[in-house]
């Protein structure tokens, strides 16, 4: 047959052409919008029909140049002639039956036969062709699929039975599938949709095959089935008398679906570009990876990364975020798990290698809002002291501020002297943030919401804006500082003889670390006699409290300072402090003394305060007398201690501290409940009513304590992470001294790593007792998975 252009239409035919003859130029000519196609329905239908006529129609036609009208007339005449000759009698010749009818007849009626070619659902994503082999039980069938795998399938897995494909051989499936896919062209559906919409007709799979391929043979019918099953635009499934047929959608529906399809394709392209970028970022060296801010530059990209981050920290806000994250992980060939998402975000440089997942999961506030920072700057600029006229000048006292070396906020300092009668007088100076911040102010409300400053190995997140806390509130060496001072005179046995609470102004003399304070105490310098008096007072107080039933829980405490935490290998400094150390004992005893005095002060003056207590254990501490003093005994006693309690009207006994009452008062810059106690006491000192009733204090404490528990969990997990990271980096085979605290089960013991200050567990050899020291080595340390495996080694 000849090939030539005719009024923008082409009829193609050659010996090698498959059953469908369609002009690409013609299809391009018909790339109109659906609306314009609908308006020009007659012309479009003529062109469509000419472009897609089955080649048998032209076996007796010589192609010449004709007008469209004459050519259509000729084709229609030829079609009528062919039908008369019985060459296209699909309905009677092939006994067309719908897919629904086939499944009804051949599955439900149990007439599925060996050799039938069928399509079945392998899993949620795959459809396979297979040949029926034999029944498998009452309902199931054994089939051999296109991959040569024999399997048993249930009737409900069958999605299509290919009509006319009987006695099919499994070896022929692969070639059949290839031919079917070679013949697929979505443009064919558009042609059929035009014709059927014009005639308002529905169609079965076989009728569609006859219409677009000129044949309803098995291959053509399966092709039509594939086109319809994958179609999302032109056709919809109709149910009529139990038989499935397909009806054309309206032009408006197709317009909308095409719009959605284009949008979907654009989104898929955008998604694929993101996946390619993620793969590229994974391969980049650490120093070349995109900065975190770059992922937020484009909203669409940020939306997907944000979803992945939410999935990583188990905080997806909706199903869409979870779905998006799952799609990304699948496209990257990763498991759909939070740990896989975390590792991917680390690999692309979005998360640092040591990202604090707990900090992200708990969603605790870290930065201060602009309005809070602005309010803080206003307070610093005004620098108004509401209690200026009511402050006692104590600048003549030598004042020691003792804290850890990296402390940013200094809340407390100490002074002491020996009176002429030999008794010791102590001044406990507490920073006075209430001279700047008033209850109910915007800064106060923000501090209440935070509840506490957060101290992590990698960073400090202060309760107050940093500049306000450091420059306006914190005690500073050699500077005039506002304070609330609690002065106490001790009896010779360590009990309180007299006390005074007042607003003051001080000038701190020394800012000491615990290490330097301990060193000064050991030097016993005459010019630092005040420090020695403080140490003597601490010893008196400890002895007195023990006589009142106090329990000594001093143990080892670990601190870690991490420098440049976002670096792949940040610097880690580990400090192990013994709470029984002289300087630490000195400070802790003075803080406990202040708490006792404030409880007494509040009780005598009927001030609602956050009184803290802890019931005495039901177990007599003498039951632990056989255990070695120090960490072993302390650990055993702590395990029997009961939970803390609070009252807001009257003091309650604190059995562990051995006190009749206790109020935390010494950290108002770091802890909100200490600040609340300051508000109450300061109001009393100025002759005003307390700002909070007992009931209001209880409500505040409930909220703040809830936040504090979350922060405590965060600080503990963060500290443990960095301890494990520190151990992971140590030379393999390094030995650590470990103190056996107790036995957990059989020879598995709870131990305390003395150089690390970490409690862990390890198997220990027979003969080792509680209180013994053993040598252990680290077998495994995985901070991200919270895994630490220790092994006892023979002592050298």
pLDDT digits over 482-515, tens only?
Answer: 999 999 999 999 999 999 999 999 999 999 999 9
CB contact set of 80 (below 8 Å; sequence gap of 6+): none
Q: Give how far Cα 432 sits from Cα of 454, 592, 616, Å.
A: 20, 19, 33
Average pLDDT over residues 40-68: 37
pLDDT > 90: percent of the chain: 74
- In order of 56, 207, 330, 553, the CA distances from 210 in angstroms are 12, 5, 40, 90
Q: Which pLDDT score, from 0 to 100, does residue 383 have?
A: 74
- Give 408's pLDDT tier (boundaries 50, 70, 90): confident
Averaged pLDDT for residues 174-194:
92
The pLDDT score that the predictor gives to residue 239 is 67
Task: Kindly tell me the sign of the dihedral angle through the C-alpha atoms of 242, 248, 254, 260.
Answer: positive
615 or 573: which leads in pLDDT: 573
The secondary structure of 114-160 as a DSSP string is TT-EEEEE-SSS-EEEEEEEEEETTTEEEEEETTS-EEEE-GGGEEE
Residue 186 pLDDT grade (very low, low, confident, very high; cuts 50, 70, 90): confident
Report the greatest alpha carbon distance in the chain. Answer: 135
pLDDT-derived band at 65 (thresholds 50, 70, 90) equals very low
Residue length of the chain? 796
- Ranking 65-79, 286-300, 411-425 by mean pLDDT, the lowest is 65-79
Res 94 pLDDT > 80: no
Q: What is the pLDDT of residue 795?
A: 80
Are 742 and 748 a contacting pair, CB within 8 Å?
no
Grade residue 74 by pLDDT with cuts at 50, 70 and 90: low
Q: How far is CA 59 from CA 2, 55, 78, 117, in A?
A: 11, 7, 10, 32
pLDDT at 696: 97
Q: What pLDDT does residue 105 have?
A: 52
Distance CA 729, CA 751 (A): 21
When pLDDT is averaged across residues 785-796 and rounded to a whole number, the result is 92
Q: Given this model, what pLDDT does residue 243 score? A: 61
Report d(CA 792, CA 749) in Å as an integer. 11
pLDDT of residue 83: 38
Q: Residue 87 has what DSSP assignment?
A: S
**Count of beta carbons in the 10 Å neighbourhood of residue 477:** 15
Contacts of 507 (CB under 8 A, 6+ apart): 395, 399, 478, 479, 480, 481
**pLDDT surpassing 70 at residue 93:** no
> Which residue matches tokens 């909220």?
703
- Do the beta carbons of residue 566 and residue 632 sit within 8 Å? no
Residues 6+ apart with CB under 8 A from 78: 57, 58, 60, 61
Mean of pLDDT values over 21-46: 35
Specify whether the CB–CB gap between 633 and 619 falls below 8 A: no
The mean per-residue pLDDT over the stretch 397-426 comes to: 92
**Residue 730: pLDDT over 90:** yes
Confidence of residue 754 (pLDDT cuts 50, 70, 90): very high
User: What CA–CA distance (Å, rounded) separates 341 from 154?
Assistant: 36
pTM of the model: 0.75
Q: Which of 12-21, 25-34, 98-107, 285-294 shows the highest mean pLDDT? A: 285-294
Taking the C-alpha atoms of residue 77 and residue 591, their distance in angstroms, rounded to an integer, is 109
Determine the Cα–Cα distance for residues 196 and 190; give it in Å rounded to an integer: 10
For residue 687, the number of C-alpha atoms closer than 13 Å in the C-beta half-sphere is: 2
Per-residue model confidence (pLDDT) at position 643: 84
Handedness of CA 174, 176, 182, 187 (dihedral sign): negative
- At residue 171, does pLDDT exceed 60? yes
Q: How confident is the model at residue 38 (pLDDT cuts 50, 70, 90)?
A: very low
Residue 106 has pLDDT above 90, yes or no: no
pLDDT, mean over the chain: 86
pLDDT given for residue 616 in this prediction: 76
pLDDT over 70 at 791, yes or no: yes
Residue carrying the six token digits 């198997």: 763
CA atoms within 13 A on the CB side of 297: 6
Give the whole-angstrom CA distance, residue 714 versus residue 480: 36
The C-alpha atoms of residue 256 and residue 250 are separated, in whole angstroms, by 10
Top-confidence range, 136-145, 204-213, 412-421: 412-421
- Return the pLDDT at 27: 36
Percent of the chain surpassing pLDDT 70:
85
Spatial separation of the C-alpha atoms in residues 152 and 316, rounded to whole Å: 39
pLDDT at 108: 47
Q: Does residue 197 register a pLDDT over 60?
A: yes
pLDDT of residue 103: 52
Q: Which of 769, 739, 743, 741 is nearest to 756 (CA)?
A: 739
Stretch among 57-71, 491-505, 555-569 having the lowest mean pLDDT: 57-71
Burial class of 424 by CB neighbour count within 10 A (0 to 12, 13 to 18, 19+):
buried
Indicate whether 156 pLDDT > 50. Answer: yes
Can you read off the two tokens belonging to residue 288? Answer: 């070349």
**Torsion angle of the four alpha carbons 478, 481, 483, 489, in this order, in degrees rounded to the nearest 10:** 30
CA distance 445 to 483: 22
113-148, pLDDT tens digit by residue?
899 999 999 998 899 999 999 999 988 999 999 999
Concatenated DSSP letters of 609-665: --EEEBPPPSS-GGGGTTSPTTHHHHHHHHTTPPPPEEESSS---BTTTTBS--B--
> How high is the pLDDT of residue 57?
33
Q: What is the pLDDT of residue 384?
A: 79
DSSP annotation of 290: P
Indicate whether 786 pLDDT > 80: yes
- Asked whether residue 332 carries a pLDDT value surpassing 90, the answer given is yes
On the question of pLDDT at 758 being above 60, the answer is yes
When mean pLDDT is compared across 75-84, 378-387, 388-397, the lowest value belongs to 75-84
Note whether 583 and 518 are within 8 A (CB): yes
> How deeply is 268 buried, as exposed, middle or buried, from its count of CB atoms within 10 A (0-12, 13-18, 19+)?
exposed
Instruction: Decide if 772 contacts 757 (C-beta within 8 A).
Output: no
The neighbour count for residue 614, using CB atoms within 10 Å, is 19
Average pLDDT over residues 210-224: 94
Would the pLDDT of 166 be above 50? yes
């Amino acid at each position: 047959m000849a090939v030539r252009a005719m009024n923008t239409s082409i009829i193609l035919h050659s010996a090698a052409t498959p059953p469908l003859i369609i002009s690409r130029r013609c299809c391009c000519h018909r790339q109109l919008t659906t609306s314009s196609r609908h308006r020009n329905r007659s012309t479009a239908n003529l062109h469509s029909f000419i472009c897609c006529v089955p080649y048998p129609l032209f076996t007796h036609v010589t192609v010449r140049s004709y007008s469209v009208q004459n050519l259509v007339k000729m084709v229609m005449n030829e079609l009528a002639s062919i039908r008369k000759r019985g060459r296209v009698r699909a309905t009677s010749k092939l006994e067309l039956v719908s897919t629904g009818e086939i499944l009804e007849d051949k599955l439900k009626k149990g007439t599925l036969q060996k050799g039938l070619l069928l399509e079945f659902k392998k899993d949620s994503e795959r459809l396979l062709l297979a040949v029926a082999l034999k029944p498998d039980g009452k309902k199931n069938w054994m089939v051999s699929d296109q991959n040569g795998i024999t399997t048993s399938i249930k009737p409900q897995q069958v999605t299509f039975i290919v009509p006319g494909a009987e006695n099919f051989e499994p070896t022929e499936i692969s070639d059949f599938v290839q031919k079917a896919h070679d013949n697929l062209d979505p443009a064919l559906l558009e042609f059929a949709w035009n014709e059927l919409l014009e005639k308002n007709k529905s169609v079965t799979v076989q009728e569609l095959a006859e219409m677009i391929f000129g044949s309803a043979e098995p291959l053509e019918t399966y092709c039509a089935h594939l086109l319809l099953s994958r179609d999302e635009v032109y056709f919809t499934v109709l149910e009529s008398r139990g038989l499935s047929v397909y009806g054309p959608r309206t032009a408006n529906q197709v317009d909308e679906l095409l719009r959605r399809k284009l949008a979907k394709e654009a989104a898929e392209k955008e998604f694929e570009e993101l996946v390619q970028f993620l793969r590229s970022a994974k391969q980049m060296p650490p120093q070349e990876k995109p900065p975190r801010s770059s992922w937020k530059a484009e909203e669409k990209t940020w939306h997907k990364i944000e979803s992945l981050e939410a999935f990583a920290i188990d905080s997806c806000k909706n199903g869409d975020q979870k779905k998006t994250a799952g799609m990304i992980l699948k496209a990257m060939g990763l498991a759909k798990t939070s740990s896989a998402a975390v590792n991917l975000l680390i690999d692309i440089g979005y998360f640092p290698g040591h990202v604090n997942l707990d900090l992200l999961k708990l969603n605790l506030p870290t930065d201060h809002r602009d309005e809070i920072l602005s309010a803080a700057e206003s307070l610093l600029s005004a620098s108004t002291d509401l209690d200026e006229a009511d402050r006692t000048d104590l600048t003549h006292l030598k004042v020691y501020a003792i804290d850890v070396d990296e402390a940013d906020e200094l809340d407390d300092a100490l002074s002491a002297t020996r009176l002429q009668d030999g008794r010791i007088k102590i001044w406990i100076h507490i920073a006075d943030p209430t001279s700047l911040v008033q209850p109910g102010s915007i800064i106060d409300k923000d501090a209440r919401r935070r509840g506490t400053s957060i101290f992590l190995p990698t960073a400090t997140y202060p309760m107050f804006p940093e500049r306000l806390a450091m420059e306006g509130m914190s005690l500073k060496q050699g500077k005039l500082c506002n304070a609330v001072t609690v002065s106490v005179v001790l009896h010779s046995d360590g009990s309180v003889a007299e006390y005074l609470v007042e607003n003051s102004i001080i000038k701190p003399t020394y800012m000491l670390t615990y290490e330097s304070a301990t060193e000064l105490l050991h030097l016993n310098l005459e010019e630092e006699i005040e420090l020695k008096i403080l140490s003597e007072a601490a010893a008196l107080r400890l002895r007195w409290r023990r006589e009142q039933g106090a329990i000594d829980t001093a143990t080892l405490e670990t601190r870690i300072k991490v420098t440049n935490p976002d670096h792949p290998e940040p610097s880690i400094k580990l400090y192990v402090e013994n709470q029984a150390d002289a300087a630490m004992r000195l400070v802790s005893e003075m803080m406990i003394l202040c708490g006792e005095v404030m409880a007494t002060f509040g009780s005598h003056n009927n001030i609602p305060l956050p009184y803290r207590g802890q019931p005495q254990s039901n177990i007599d501490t003498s039951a632990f007398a056989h255990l070695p003093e120090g960490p072993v005994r302390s650990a055993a006693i702590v395990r029997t201690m009961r939970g803390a309690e609070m009252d807001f009207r009257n003091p309650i006994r604190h059995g562990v501290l051995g006190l009749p009452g206790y109020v935390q008062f010494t950290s108002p810059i770091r802890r909100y409940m200490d600040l609340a106690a300051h508000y109450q006491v300061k109001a009393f000192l100025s002759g005003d009513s307390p700002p909070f009733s007992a009931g209001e204090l209880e409500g505040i404490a409930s909220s703040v304590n809830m936040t504090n528990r979350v922060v405590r969990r965060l600080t503990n997990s963060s500290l443990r992470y960095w301890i494990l990271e520190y151990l992971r980096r140590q030379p393999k085979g390094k030995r650590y001294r470990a103190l056996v605290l107790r036995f957990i089960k059989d020879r598995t013991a709870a131990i305390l790593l003395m150089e690390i200050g970490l409690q862990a567990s390890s198997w220990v050899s027979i003969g080792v007792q509680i209180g013994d020291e053993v040598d252990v080595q680290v077998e495994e340390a995985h901070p991200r998975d919270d895994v630490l495996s220790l092994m006892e080694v023979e002592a050298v």
